[in-house]
Amino acid sequence: MTKFFVARVLRNILLALSAAALTILSATAADGAKLAAQLCVACHGVHGHSESPMFPRLDGQTSEYIQAQLKGFREHARGETDARAYMWGIASQLDDDTVRALGDYYASQTAAPGRTGDAGLVARGRVVFEQGVPDNGVPACATCHGAQAQGNGAFPRLAGQHEPYLLRQIELFRSGARGNAPVMSAVAHQLNAEQAQAVAAYLQSR
């Protein structure tokens, strides 16, 4: 997607949102599905199964995590460059009921399977995910993200997520740009580049 195209999509979405603002207020679960199909689909794909690594997959993500992120965008607590450019405007139009409806909608979607990667890399990533890197003080990711990386409550699902998106987030946690997540900043500081690459390849393959 070119920058120009994205800017145009965003402008149209924001125009549609401001026109629809009154009907979006006090949304029900059905409204969550409707809004997702009208707006979020442009970037996050049908049922949240985004095809582009630019846009995180939302299918099967936990409702609690989605709600926390939307509120983070809305309150400008999650303010890295892409979040600012793509999600701040949209989130500013969503009230708590709508946020909950969207979270519940995506959580109820069956997550499509991941994409396989280089077998050696995936195998090394699996070890990092399941056991951490005790010598470097890296905790096992599975302790928080679940044995199958399926997520739980505030701990996001990572299984099947796009590898470039995962790597970008790890880098943002490390640099402090995604600054509202102290736990992950600490974890990201301890991971070296090769371990990050391996664990991201493993997760995308789930």
Binding residues vs ligand HEC (CB under 6 A): 9-10, 13, 35, 39-40, 42-44, 54-56, 58, 66, 68-70, 80, 82-83, 86-87, 90, 102, 128, 138-139, 141, 143-145, 154-156, 158, 166, 169-170, 180-181, 183-184, 187, 191, 199
Determine contact, residues 150/156, Cβ cutoff 8 Å.
no
CB nearer ligand HEC, residue 33 or residue 39: 39
Query: Could you tell me the smallest distance in angstroms from the CB atom of residue 116 to ligand HEC?
Result: 18
Query: Mind giving me the DSSP string for 36-59?
Result: IIIIIHHHH-GGG---STTS---T
Longest alpha-carbon distance in the chain: 55
CB-neighbour burial class of residue 116 (10 A; exposed 0-12, middle 13-18, buried 19+): exposed
CB nearer ligand HEC, residue 9 or residue 29: 9
CB nearer ligand HEC, residue 13 or residue 121: 13
Query: Could you tell me the smallest distance in angstroms from the CB atom of residue 196 to ligand HEC?
Result: 7
CA triple 7-105-94, angle to 5 deg: 50
CB nearer ligand HEC, residue 14 or residue 118: 14
The phi and psi torsions of 152 (rounded to 5 degrees) equal -165, 115
- Name which of 29, 45, 75 is nearest 161 in CA terms: 45
Contact partners, residue 192, CB within 8 Å, separation at least 6: 136
CB nearer ligand HEC, residue 35 or residue 111: 35
Query: Could you tell me the smallest distance in angstroms from the CB atom of residue 165 to ligand HEC?
Result: 7
Query: Could you tell me the smallest distance in angstroms from the CB atom of residue 43 to ligand HEC?
Result: 3
Query: Could you tell me the smallest distance in angstroms from the CB atom of residue 119 to ligand HEC?
Result: 19
